[in-house]
Each structure stands twice: as structure tokens, then as C-alpha cells.
Amino acid sequence: MVFRRIYWVTEQLDAKGCGVVTGVYTSIPDLMNKGLRWLNGQESAKLRVSLIKLDSPGQPLGCWTGPEFENFETDLEQCIVTKEFTPQEVETLAGAIRKFAESS
């Protein structure tokens, strides 16, 4: 069994920007299949997706808020270089989260 060192965290943000964690995922497929959802019918909320290194006192590796998710692909280039993700995985995830955020 492979122990994952980074996690995706999804949050639902209200109008004031306060977030409620809606899930923590260890893989891009789980994030896309389980994490792109709203709690309690809050489709008017914003989605924030963060990439967190486990057991680290540092800042998240990345934090993006929709519907734009600015610099998402560029910020994840570091994870492509380290082979944590493939370019295709990043492109597919970027499309999925933007589509989800725009459909709300």
C-alpha cells in the first residue's frame, strides 16, 4: 500500500469567504468523482480546492478558488516535475473543477 503524502481538500465558501471543509481526497479521481459537490444545496457558494502536504507546518502547496481557479495548471507544474501527477491528470482535473464551478 502506498502512503500518500499530499491531499486535496475541498471547501464550500459562503458570501463572506468563510469556508466549510466538504472533503479530503488522496487522488485526483476521488476528488473528481466524490469531491465536486455542494453540501445542503448551496449551489450559490464558491468552491475552494487546496493541495496540502501531510504532516507539514508549512502553507498549502496550492489553494485555488472558483470559478476561475487562477494559475491552477501553472502552480501544479511542480507536481508534474516530481511525477506526482501527469500533465493529462492536471488538465483533466482543471477542466472538471471549472466545469463544476461554472455550472453552479
**pLDDT of 65 over the 50 cut:** yes
**pLDDT of 1 over the 70 cut:** no
Q: Nearest Cα to 104, choosing from 53, 22, 39, 16? A: 39
The average pLDDT across 11-18 equals 87
Q: Are 65 and 46 in contact (CB under 8 A)?
A: yes
**pLDDT of 8 over the 90 cut:** yes
Report how far apart, in Å, the C-alpha atoms of 14 and of each of 5, 33, 36 are. 29, 23, 16
